[in-house]
Amino acid sequence: MSLTLSSASVDGLRAQFSGGLTGPEDAGYDDARAVHNGLIDKRPALVASCVNTADIADAVRFARAEGLEISTRGGGHNVAGKAVTEGGVMIDLARMRGSYVDPVRRRARVQGGATWNDYNRATAQHGLATTGGVVSTTGVAGLTLGGGLGWLMGRYGMAVDNLTSVELVTAEGEVLQVSADTDPELFWGLRGGGGNFGVAASFEFETHPLDTILGGIVAYPLSEALPVFAAYQEVTADPPDELVSFFGLVHAPDGSGHKIVAVPLCHCGDIATGESLVAPLRSVGTPAVDLIGPLPYPVMNTLLDGAFPKGARNYWKSGFFKELSEDVIGVLVDAFERVPSPMTGMVIEHFHGAVTRIDPTATAFPHREPGYNLVLTGEWLDPADDAANIAWIRSTYESVAPFMADAVYANYLAADEPERVRAAYGPNWERLVALKRKWDPENIFHLNQNIDPGG
């Protein structure tokens, strides 16, 4: 174990701990501390691999007694790398991935270490689904606590709009079942306030009948970006709730390095109706590839997985548009011609439908305006390329900043953007600060997009 922890104190925790405890001198330590973003390289004093809620509570109390910083790892996918601490206790939920589905009540309970692939496979056994991410390796916990966009958000809202309760371990090590009935204010804060109020041991969601969707990707050479964007504007001008689509400048997945413009989409309604709605996107000349067709919903949620491999080095910038036009696309295309990494992409996400019919203050997640969000997903493999790739992402974002609103999705914030955290919570900031003062006045849980209890 680390010299910062006495063997006696760790042995005391181990005596009652159901999971595993791993320190820097133990086998498997490097795997245990790794998160999805290979750019993050922190060394916790102890990794507490929990298998149940009691383990989480014990780990919280232990870290506080030892005066150690706490981080929480759900899926470990967050680009800012907040899941791992330097020199503190990493509470790792990766072994807590169970799901239980009640098809009669149409509710599903899932543990805090599960991925959306785990959850989608479980609910699909009963012909049910919940909005949850567009990359299946993403953790349920982090995505949900930050809002939770996904392919079904037009019809069913964000993940937080489907959340019915959370089993929460507080800063005092208490275990609470939080819902609109038990504590409506804390439940409000958990729906978009990130990991600021405790460790989420499990989540219960409302589910919806869903089996086969129309989905996939249609792509063209980058030279066709403007006509494809024109078709995308047509399709997203007034779509039904069932259709969610994105617009991306990316690299061909075959390893060729060819730059393409791609539109991934999901229509969770009548297949024939969906075919008609997306026809304009499939007839902009001759597609380089057209992979749109009927799919099981869990398969749809895996289609982008290959673009986000674990261990790649990631640096992202993101924000909501106040204006999206051909001029903006032209700026992005020009920048993409000079992109330093064949793994990097630019993705525009369309928000409409159910997610935008909820008041911005009804949940802690505030971004309810119809429109578009940009995320620049910088990815590369060689540490020697860090400076060039980070510089490109920053300069590209600066080039489109005049077109961006003062709003950002908390789950996309980089580690070096603390000044933008207020923009992530928008009009809900002061209410969240008051909630933080009540539940975590010492800011024990600060490795997140942090709500400082000092305001």
In a domain, 107, yes or no: yes
pTM: 0.96
In a domain, 444, yes or no: no
Q: What is the DSSP letter of 282?
A: G
Residue 221, strand partner residues: 260
- The tokens for 166 are 């959370």
pLDDT score, position 1: 39
Per-residue pLDDT reduced to its tens digit, 281-321: 999 989 999 999 999 999 999 999 999 999 999 999 999 99
In a domain, 450, yes or no: no
pLDDT score, position 4: 59
156/400 Cα distance (integer angstroms)? 31
- The tokens for 17 are 């701990």
Same domain for 254 and 362: yes
What is the β-pairing status of strands 89-92 and 46-49? parallel
Whether the per-residue pLDDT at 2 is higher than 60: the answer is no
Q: What is the DSSP letter of 133?
A: B
Query: Which SS3 state, helix, strand or coil, does residue 55 take?
Result: helix
The domain tally of the chain equals: 3
Same domain for 264 and 246: yes
Same domain for 319 and 205: no
Q: Determine contact, residues 89/73, Cβ cutoff 8 Å.
A: no
Which one of 60, 92, 124 terminates a domain? 92
DSSP states of 350-414 = EE-GGGGSS-TTTSS----SSEEEEEEEEEES-GGGHHHHHHHHHHHHHHHGGGB-S---GGG--
The whole domain housing 34 covers 7-92
Average pLDDT over residues 340-350: 98
Tokens 């380089």 — which residue? Answer: 288
Residue 91, strand partner residues: 48, 72
Q: Determine contact, residues 72/34, Cβ cutoff 8 Å.
A: no
Same domain for 324 and 228: yes
Torsion angles phi and psi, residue 171, rounded to 5: -65, -20
CATH number for the domain spanning 142: value is 3.30.465.10
In a domain, 313, yes or no: yes
Whether the per-residue pLDDT at 127 is higher than 50: the answer is yes
- The separation between the first and the last C-alpha atoms of the chain, rounded to the nearest angstrom, is 37
83/77 Cα distance (integer angstroms)? 8
pLDDT score, position 249: 98
Same domain for 286 and 183: no
In a domain, 451, yes or no: no
Same domain for 66 and 27: yes
Whether the per-residue pLDDT at 442 is higher than 70: the answer is yes
Same domain for 359 and 332: yes
Confidence category of residue 192, pLDDT binned at 50, 70, 90: very high
- The tokens for 81 are 């790398």
Same domain for 240 and 153: no
In a domain, 41, yes or no: yes
Same domain for 278 and 137: no
Whether the per-residue pLDDT at 455 is higher than 90: the answer is no
Average pLDDT over residues 377-381: 98
Residue 319, strand partner residues: 374
